[in-house]
Homo-oligomer: A and B are copies of this chain.
Amino acid sequence: MSEAIVRFGIIGCAEIARKVSRAITLAPNSTIYAVASRSLEKASNFAAQNSFPPGTKIYGTYDALLEDPDVDAVYLPLPTSLHIRWAVAAACKGKHILLEKPVAMNVAEFDEIVKACSENGVQLMDGTMWMHHPRTAKMKEFLLDKAIFGDLKSMHTCFTFGADADFLANDIRVKPHLDGLGSLGDAGWYCIRSILWLADFELPETVTALPGPVLNDAGVILSCGASLRWKDGKVATFHCSFLSHLTMDITAIGSKGTLHVHDFIIPFQEEEASFSIASEAWFDEFVTKWTGKRSEHVVKAELPQEACMVKEFSSLVNAIRTKGSKPEMKWPTISRKTQLVLDSVKQSIEQGFVGVGVLQ
């Protein structure tokens, strides 16, 4: 018996919603059912411009969409500051929620979202797409292989892109009352998530922001970095920025191996993605060249990673709807940890780059 089709309502017509709408269409267990904007016209245009299925319900308010009993799940690409209001509202209407990142302005807000989801038995997942690429699972296999990688020792991740003048003046990600976490919330989210993913979601003991963040006149972070330290001694750094050329790296160093990937958030190509590993590398007799194993691994992607994400989300929704399963708490748990570290970086910046203890 094939899986039921989860009917999505899209709340808000952000640019990212175009990509996720396509993903909903590509995912075999999902369909676009409705779209809402603050005006009927905007929603209608968005549906037309993005080839939404004929008959897609068009709503001129978010509330109207949430009232539709045939909407199973919502995708929420709204500005971060609106997440708490609309995610809680969606949960209270029994809608499962695929929530854009950063999930909230801070952990306290996110906890309210999680509480509303729990009380209403709905699935919550954030929109961190690369987590769902088959490459990610392959990399994890390598990282967990003690014989090849050993114990995780240090990590560096970065995500930077060069925003243009229009973005830096007008984008919601530079506006304190919209996506007020700026590049930390947008780009830094991925850096922090990747570090936590590397560390099997063990939280660091302390987070220390690095000197030299760049803030705009409204106090929104355009560029920053941080240093993380775990109880067992492993360490990480990351750097995120709206002010540098597009770069997205993970370097993970274990006691026996090293992982490099240069396109972890959005793969260079859609059909396949690669990563490179080295294990037990050393030098020849005169220390003039390397010995040991270095290799490039290519992983095919049958579906784009964002469609894998939607598919996974909808499978969980279907399990709840048809099998009486409980919502999968893994996803909100890692969202919360990511937000917690993000909050700590922000706090460290605000307090002059002191080390901030992360509540375990």
A144 nearest CB across to chain B (Å): 15
Does any Cβ of B come within 8 Å of A290's Cβ?
Answer: yes
Q: How far, in Å, is A220 (CB) from chain B's closest CB?
A: 16
A selection of 19 A-B contacts at a CB cut-off of 8 Å is A19-B287, A153-B160, A154-B158, A156-B156, A156-B237, A158-B251, A160-B253, A206-B211, A208-B353, A210-B229, A212-B227, A244-B253, A244-B254, A245-B279, A246-B258, A247-B253, A266-B287, A267-B289, A268-B294
Instruction: Name which residue of chain B comes closest to A284, CB basis.
Output: B270
Contact of A290 with B278 in the complex, beta carbons under 8 Å: no
Residues 247-305 of A at the B interface (beta carbon under 8 Å): 247, 249, 251, 253-258, 260, 262-263, 266-270, 278-283, 286-290, 292, 294, 304
CA distance A286 to B206 in the complex (A): 37
A219 within 8 A of B: no
**Is there an interface contact between B355 and A245, defined as CB atoms closer than 8 Å?**
no
A329 to B242, CA, bound (A): 39
CA distance A217 to B93 in the complex (A): 60
Task: Tell me which of A227, A268, A304 has the highest count of chain B C-beta atoms within 10 A of its own C-beta.
Answer: A227
Is residue A306 within 8 Å, beta carbon to beta carbon, of the partner chain? yes
By the criterion CB–CB under 8 Å, are A208 and B211 in contact? Answer: yes
**How many copies are assembled?**
2
Closest chain B CB from A182 CB (angstroms) = 16
Q: Are A281 and B211 in contact (CB under 8 A)?
A: no
A153 with B243: CB separation less than 8 A:
yes
Most buried by B among A16, A287, A306: A287
The docked-state distance in angstroms from the alpha carbon of A282 to that of B156 is 22
Which residues of the partner chain B approach A254 to less than 8 Å between Cβ atoms?
Answer: 244-245
The interface residues of chain B lying within 8 Å CB-to-CB of A233 are 212, 214
CB distance from A346 to the nearest CB of B (A): 17
Query: Given A160-B154, A278-B246, A290-B263, A237 and B237 touching (CB < 8 A)?
Result: yes
